[in-house]
Amino acid sequence: MHKGDVWKYGTTVKKIRQTRYSQKELAGIVAGLDYDVEFRGGSDAVLLIEKMKIISYVLTYGTLPPGNKMVR
């Protein structure tokens, strides 16, 4: 992976001040991986945005992001 590459799109139900992954977990996946919140909202909205981002990635690169196994 290169700086700025997407590893995975996903959602979480954790509170705003918490993150889905700890920095230790991120480092164990890919060295230098960061967690960025791109959108907040209701569950229907965030799932729609997630799906749109994954589909856009597939249309651009011809494959799913490395951390995504499917489009929900």
67, 8 Cβ separation under 8 angstroms? yes
Q: Is residue 72 part of a domain?
A: no
Per the structure, how many domains does the chain have? 1
CA angle 60, 6, 2 (to 5 degrees): 100
Domain membership flag for residue 9: yes
| pLDDT per position as a tens digit, 17-53 | 556 667 677 777 777 777 777 888 888 999 999 999 9
39 domain residue, yes or no:
yes
The whole-angstrom separation of Cα 30 and Cα 16 is 24
What is the radius of gyration, based on Cα positions, of the chain? 13
Q: What is the domain extent for residue 54? A: 1-67
pTM of the model: 0.74
